[in-house]
Structure 1
Amino acid sequence: MDFVIRRATAEEYDTLGEITAHAYLGDGLLDFGDDDAYLHELRAVAKRAAAAEVLVAAADGGVLGGATFVASGGPMADIARPGEAEIRMLAVAREARGRGAGEALVRACVERARSVPGCVRVVLSTQRTMHGAHRLYERLGFTRTPDRDWNPLPELDDITLLTYELTL
């Protein structure tokens, strides 16, 4: 492994925001254009860092990718229930993919969840088209929870997010 997983610094927020936005746009996960409200959320790393723990995979003074770890509830949680931590907005720069940064970020979030008193599970949402992410989650022991699938934009029928959980 030629990178480290650590908390993002304020100087890295803009870079991570762009990596996250480009990952979602470049992979066709957002098709609403550059003015989409969720795209602004993906870029708002400082806002996330104020409410949750933002982690980065860093190497040679640069950021390869990041993830947001939501310990137990709070304003950044989408689907977490009491006793659950949540992983949000996992993204790795296209040029850094295949080096294990995404897996290392997920593993770091799981380890953080294990240290949270009363936390019994880690949950996350993913888009249907994120097949590589699905394989990663399943390889790490996450299981699908179709009963928790949800639509963040009910006015758009085709945005149902798939959910996964890992019991600690």
Structure 2
Amino acid sequence: MLLRLATPEDHEVVGRATVAAYSPFIGGERPDTGYVEQLRDAARRAEEADLWVACSADGAVLGSVTICPEGSPWRELARPGEGEFRMLAVDPAAQGQGVGRALVEHALAHFRVSGASGVVLCSMAEMTAAHALYGRLGFEREPALDWSPAPGVELLSFRLTFAMQES
């Protein structure tokens, strides 16, 4: 599996895969908040944050994650000095193959190298498989940061604090 920054040629497939990955959680009775269009708009994420993709050996995009540096409009929870990532998505055909874990580990490594004190994120309450992954990687629930961007949409927050390095 290769991890790299998304290119403009990737944007359409990343948008489709992100919508497909989120579809089980955003359908049904949820109000239309325009979130599907945000999920589909990989070009905007790539312009305003760092959009990373995981690719197979033959170059097919398997998944993506949006790493939100300080100053990015995509940040929702992070304080100065903390990292945040959003829209972790694995194409349904590639789920269960370690793609999500690889993308999260890449985001964590990125923030460690940049000197962040830790990472925060939020996730839909229904995304229990993602929550389990975050727990395996050391994230803990941060209920004080839970929020609701729209009626019927509950976002749970998670935090991973990096251990202080000895000098």
Tell me whether the two structures share a fold, i.e. TM-score over 0.5.
Answer: yes
Q: Is the 8 A contact 1:64 1:93 kept in 2?
A: yes
Kindly provide the amino acid, as one letter, of the partner of residue 5 in structure 2: R
Give secondary structure in 1 for the equivalent of 2:131: helix
Q: 1:30-84 CA distances to partner (integer Å, 9 max, x unpaired)?
A: 4468x75110000111111111110111011110010000122421101111111
**2:142 corresponding residue in structure 1:** 145
Post-superposition shift, 1:131? 0.8
Give secondary structure in 2 for the equivalent of 1:13: helix
Kindly provide the amino acid, as one letter, of the partner of residue 137 in structure 2: L
Question: How many residues in Structure 1 have an aligned counterpart in Structure 2?
Answer: 160
For structure 1, the 5+ residue unaligned runs are: none
Instruction: Say if 2:156 is the partner of 1:162.
Output: yes
Cα distance between partner residues in 1 of 2:34 and 2:26? 14
Of 85, 88, 102, 2:86 maps to: 88
Q: Is the 8 A contact 1:87 1:123 kept in 2?
A: yes
Among all aligned residue pairs of Structure 1 and Structure 2, give the percentage whose two residues are the same amino acid.
41
Kindly provide the amino acid, as one letter, of the partner of residue 26 in structure 2: L
Q: 1:97-125 CA distances to partner (integer Å, 9 max, x unpaired)?
A: 111000000000000101224x2111111
Cα distance between partner residues in 1 of 2:29 and 2:88? 20
Instruction: Say if 2:16 is the partner of 1:56.
Output: no
Cα distance between partner residues in 1 of 2:84 and 2:71? 8
Q: Is the 8 A contact 1:121 1:167 kept in 2?
A: yes
Give secondary structure in 1 for the equivalent of 2:15: helix
For structure 2, the 5+ residue unaligned runs are: 163-167
**1:106 corresponding residue in structure 2:** 104
Q: TM-score, normalised by structure 2?
A: 0.91
Post-superposition shift, 1:148? 0.5
Cα distance between partner residues in 2 of 1:115 and 1:30? 37
**2:14 corresponding residue in structure 1:** 16
Give secondary structure in 1 for the equivalent of 2:149: coil
Displacement over 4 Å in runs of 4+: none
Cα distance between partner residues in 2 of 1:32 and 1:23? 18
Q: Is the 8 A contact 1:150 1:161 kept in 2?
A: yes
**2:129 corresponding residue in structure 1:** 132
Q: TM-score, normalised by structure 1?
A: 0.90
